[in-house]
Amino acid sequence: MPYPEEAAVVSGTGEWSVGRKAQLFKPARNQMQSGIHNTKHWEIRFNTPRTWANPLMGWTSTADPYIGLVTKFDTQEAAERFAKKQGWELELAEPAPVGDYYGKISYSHNFLPENVETLIKQKGKKSAVQFKHPTGRRSNWVKTLKYHGNGVVAQHGGEAKE
């Protein structure tokens, strides 16, 4: 038997690992970040077996050496083939659909006024008519304050308008 169908015969793990139930899934994106770095592979993890509290330290204990085992594969077929050779039963969890939002929405849209967002949708981002100021882009231009405290304030030597 040069290439056994079951790898447990030659792996040395023994018959106790044959028939184990494992989960095959594609990991979800980290919700704290926008990247999709660790979501391109498939993982096999084992279900949590019976555990007990260690009476000496109070730690959770188990007799299962596979509890921390995580195997990663590039494709679903490779993972299924490996599990079949090991004699494991797989529960397949289908990956959730991923939306393509690139270029459609951005974080700044949470803070835009509704009329500005409407103008961006109508005229596009490149024109940016809503952000232009008649005296902008000059060295002496300052966005003037309208109020300071309770009264009107003169700006840069000019007279206060009532």
Tell me: the pLDDT tens digits for 122-147?
Answer: 877 665 555 565 665 555 555 555 55
What confidence tens digit (pLDDT) does each residue in 13-66 have? 667 677 889 999 999 888 787 778 888 999 999 987 788 898 888 898 888 888
Which amino acid belongs to residue 154? A
Counting Cβ atoms within 10 Å, is residue 54 exposed (0-12), middle (13-18) or buried (19+)? exposed
Instruction: Report d(CA 88, CA 85) in Å as an integer.
Output: 8
Beta strands in the chain (DSSP E): 21-25, 42-46, 52-53, 60-61, 70-73, 89-92, 147-148, 151-152
Residue 130 has a CB neighbour count (10 Å cut-off) of 14
- Between residues 85 and 119, the one the model is more confident about: 85
- Examine the pLDDT at 1 and tell me if it is beyond 50: no
Domains present along the chain, CATH in parentheses: 8-92 (3.30.160), 107-152 (no CATH)
Beta strands in 3-68 (DSSP E): 21-25, 42-46, 52-53, 60-61
Which amino acid belongs to residue 100? D
